[in-house]
Amino acid sequence: MARYTLSRLGQLILVLVGVSIVVFFTMHVLPGDVATLLLGERATEAQLTQLRHQLGLDQPVWLQYLQFAAQAVRGELGVSLRSNHAALADVWTAFPVTFQLALTSLILATGIGVPLGVLAGTKPNGWLDNIVLTATLFGVSMPIFWLGLMLLLLFGAWLEWLPIGGLMPTGVDVPRITGMTVLDSLIAGRADLLWISLRYLTLPAVALASIPLAMITRITRSEMLATASLDHVRTARAKGMPERLVIVRHILRNALIPVVTVIGLQLGLLLSGAVLTETIFALPGLGRLMVDSILSRDYPVVQAGALFIAFVFVLVNLLVDLCYALLDPRIRRA
């Protein structure tokens, strides 16, 4: 198991190198000039040349990349052209917002999706199964921006049950420790702040959870169905095992293996793909930071953000694979 983990960590480095190359060169192929952007349309050619020299933009691209890579290894990913903060610091500030949102959505999606899939899968073509199949079809096909707006309209604007956006109301601050409002409220021991932060988190988390919820429900259902017809399930029944135990120990346990993969992939996607949700609900997360930085050609932040997302994605996948090995003894020796 230790060797397996080590070899997977080695792969992580390779992926990061690959991502850094792709991100770096993509940014350089894009039209638009940083110097003009920074100094404005009226800057003289001499000023532009000087700035380009200062930023190292007049050197060959491959040399720029090597310099970038050498700095990146030391953890220096440049300074944001907009905020003048270290690029990684901007990413690091935004990440907890996204992480809290993604994790909450995933907990919702898994906590509802797996039991729902189990119930639907143990009685295929029953009334619950039909409802679940129809509802999840809606879930996967509903555009997230539309669902988000509808939720906002219904619960935020008309019913006024929940706030319509933002992380916390203006003027209310949670003492920042992790950057995740819910967790920080808990650490501070403030029930009032916890309640507020949860209210602010609800709508975006529900909106973001819709697609993973539908996918997890569907995959759980189909895996339950496929596993239920396997020979070892008949063996379990032949032992005289009550049906409920057969379902939990011999169907669900085996069916969970592919479900865990999907859950892991979804977490990776949620972490990198919460852009729409963060925009609709005005959350200062990683997705919004990336979009804003791309639009303003803030190379260092885009690069730092992309590398960071790739790092998290690969790390999550590694964790999933380790879970996989725990769930399926056949993989441990491979």
Q: Contact between 327 and other proteins (CB under 8 A)?
A: yes
Q: Contact between 328 and other proteins (CB under 8 A)?
A: yes
Q: Which is nearer to other proteins, 106 or 236 (CB)?
A: 236
Q: From residue 256 to residue 295, what is the string marking binding to other proteins with x (rule CB under 8 A)? A: -x--------------------------------------
Q: Determine which residue in the list 53, 61, 239, 248 makes contact with other proteins, applying CB under 8 A.
A: 239
Residues 6+ apart with CB under 8 A from 115: none
Whether 327 contacts 256, CB under 8 Å = yes
Q: Contact between 237 and other proteins (CB under 8 A)?
A: yes
Q: Determine which residue in the list 241, 291, 322, 325 makes contact with other proteins, applying CB under 8 A.
A: 241
Q: Determine which residue in the list 135, 234, 248, 282 makes contact with other proteins, applying CB under 8 A.
A: 234
Closest contact distance (angstroms) between CB of 132 and other proteins is 20
Query: How many amino acids of this chain bind other proteins (CB under 8 A)?
Result: 22
Using CA atoms, how far residue 42 sits from 30, 35, 58, in Å, is: 22, 11, 20
* Residue 180 main-chain phi, psi, to 5 deg: -95, 115
* Residue 60 main-chain phi, psi, to 5 deg: -60, 150
Look up tokens 């350089």; give the residue: 28
* Residue 79 main-chain phi, psi, to 5 deg: -115, 140
Please tell me the distance from the alpha carbon of residue 27 to that of residue 67, in angstroms, as a whole number.
Answer: 15
Which one of the spans 94-102, 134-142, 245-253, 296-304 is the region binding other proteins (CB under 8 A)? 245-253
Q: Contact between 41 and other proteins (CB under 8 A)?
A: no
SS3 label, residue 55: helix
Please tell me the distance from the alpha carbon of residue 93 to that of residue 182, in angstroms, as a whole number.
Answer: 15
Q: Determine which residue in the list 58, 232, 248, 282 makes contact with other proteins, applying CB under 8 A.
A: 232
Q: Contact between 250 and other proteins (CB under 8 A)?
A: yes
* Residue 203 main-chain phi, psi, to 5 deg: -60, -50
Q: Contact between 325 and other proteins (CB under 8 A)?
A: no
Q: Which is nearer to other proteins, 32 or 240 (CB)?
A: 240
Which amino acid type is present at position 227?
Answer: T
Complete DSSP assignment for 82-127: TT-SBHHHHHHHHHHHHHHHHHHHHHHHHHHHHHHHHHHHHSTTSH
Please tell me the distance from the alpha carbon of residue 189 to that of residue 194, in angstroms, as a whole number.
Answer: 8
Closest contact distance (angstroms) between CB of 238 and other proteins is 4
Please tell me the distance from the alpha carbon of residue 202 to that of residue 196, in angstroms, as a whole number.
Answer: 10
Q: Determine which residue in the list 28, 53, 123, 253 makes contact with other proteins, applying CB under 8 A.
A: 253
Q: Contact between 244 and other proteins (CB under 8 A)?
A: no
Closest contact distance (angstroms) between CB of 248 and other proteins is 12
Closest contact distance (angstroms) between CB of 232 and other proteins is 4
β-bridge partners, 57: none
Q: Contact between 329 and other proteins (CB under 8 A)?
A: yes
Which one of the spans 3-11, 164-172, 176-184, 234-242 is the region binding other proteins (CB under 8 A)? 234-242
Using CB under 8 A as the criterion, which residues of the chain lie in contact with other proteins when the complex forms? 230-232, 234-243, 249-250, 253-254, 257, 327-330
